[in-house]
């Protein structure tokens, strides 16, 4: 069964450093999402992406964050200058279509720890 | 974002019995609801969904009930099995919010043998 993959599974970084989280969505999917879950809190929407553009972003997704689809398979989330509060589990998701009934398929996540 | 609430952080149930997980929402624009299951160190896995035009959807041991007037949905698992022990997230979305998912805080289910 096709699945969303994410690398790395764990990332430890120093505050102020840049990190890039990578995702490979399901191959024929067209819509991509990033979510995050801070320990003990809800899964929160960060950004949605389609046709090489951001469709929507949350308040969390400030200028320190950016997303990119550098080739036909990868979808990346970059945090330019990490803060302690960026420590969280980051999930990538993808869907084939953008309809209400479409299921979003999630990757296993990247656990980011900012020291 | 308090639009989706799961007020029970945990639930313990005997194997073979029914697990009932509850979820409330506040946004009347939500028109599709999903339940995801999550094991430690894994991403959320889709379990079952329901459209706002229905009040019940069943898939094997899993049934989701929707009460639109009360803005409430529930997930029933019958019979509960040890492999059902996981965190269950209620999620909702609507056309007005670009199809992004709004999640509840999750309920940790423990099925006792």
Quick one: pLDDT at residue A97? 79
Rounded to an integer, what distance in angstroms lies between the CA atom of residue A114 and that of residue A34? 18
What's the rounded Cα separation, in Å, for the pair B75 and A46?
27
Chain B residues near residue A44 by CB distance under 8 angstroms = 1, 103
Q: What is the pLDDT of residues B42-74, one digit of tens each?
A: 899 999 999 999 999 999 999 999 999 999 999
- A61–B contact, CB cutoff 8 A: no
Q: Which residues of A touch B44 (CB under 8 A)?
A: 43, 91, 106
A67 touches chain B (CB under 8 A): no
Burial of B60 (0-12, 13-18, 19+ CB in 10 A): exposed
Residue range B8-20: average pLDDT?
97
By percentage, how much of chain A surpasses pLDDT 90? 75
Residues A41-80: pLDDT tens digits?
889 999 999 888 998 899 999 999 999 998 878 999 999 9
Alpha carbons A68 and A80: distance in angstroms, whole number:
13
Please say if the pLDDT value at position B97 is more than 60.
no
pLDDT: is B40 or A9 the higher one? Answer: A9
Mind giving me the DSSP string for chain B? --SEE---SEEEEETTS-EEEEEEE--TT--EEEEEEE-TTS--EEEEEEETT-SEEEETTEEEEEETTTTEEEEEESS--GGG-EEEEEEEE-GGGTT--EE---EEEEEE-
pLDDT average, residue stretch A82-97:
94
pLDDT of residue B99 exceeding 80: no
Note whether B94 contacts A100, CB cutoff 8 Å. Answer: yes
User: According to the model, what pLDDT value does residue A2 have?
Assistant: 78
CATH fourth-level superfamily of A5-114: Immunoglobulins (2.60.40.10)
Highest mean pLDDT pick, A54-58, A102-106, B95-99: A54-58
Rounded Cα–Cα distance for residues B65 and A8 (Å): 38
Q: Which tokens belong to A12?
A: 């430890």
A30 touches B at CB < 8 Å: no
Number of domains in chain B: 1
User: Domain containing B98: what range?
Assistant: 4-112
For chain B, give the percent of residues with pLDDT over 90: 81
């Amino acid at each position: 069964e096709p699945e969303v993959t994410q690398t790395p599974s764990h990332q430890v970084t120093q505050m102020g450093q840049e990190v890039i989280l990578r995702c490979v969505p399901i191959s024929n999917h067209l819509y991509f999402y990033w979510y995050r879950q801070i320990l003990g809190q809800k899964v929160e929407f960060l950004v949605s992406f389609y046709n090489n553009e951001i469709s929507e972003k949350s308040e969390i997704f400030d200028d320190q964050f950016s997303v990119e689809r550098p080739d036909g398979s990868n979808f990346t989330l970059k945090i330019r200058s990490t803060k302690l509060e960026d420590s969280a589990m980051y999930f990538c998701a993808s869907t084939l279509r953008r309809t209400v009934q479409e299921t979003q398929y999630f990757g296993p996540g990247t656990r980011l720890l900012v020291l | 974002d308090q639009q989706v609430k799961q007020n029970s952080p945990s639930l313990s149930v005997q194997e073979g019995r029914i697990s009932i997980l509850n979820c409330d929402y506040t946004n009347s624009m939500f028109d599709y609801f999903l339940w995801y299951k999550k094991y430690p160190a894994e991403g959320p896995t889709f379990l079952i969904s329901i459209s706002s035009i229905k009040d019940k959807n069943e898939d094997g041991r899993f049934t989701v009930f929707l009460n639109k007037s009360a803005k409430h949905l529930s997930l029933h698992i019958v019979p509960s099995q040890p492999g059902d022990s996981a965190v269950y997230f209620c999620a909702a979305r609507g056309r007005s919010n670009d199809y992004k998912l709004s999640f509840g805080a999750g309920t940790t289910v423990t099925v006792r043998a």
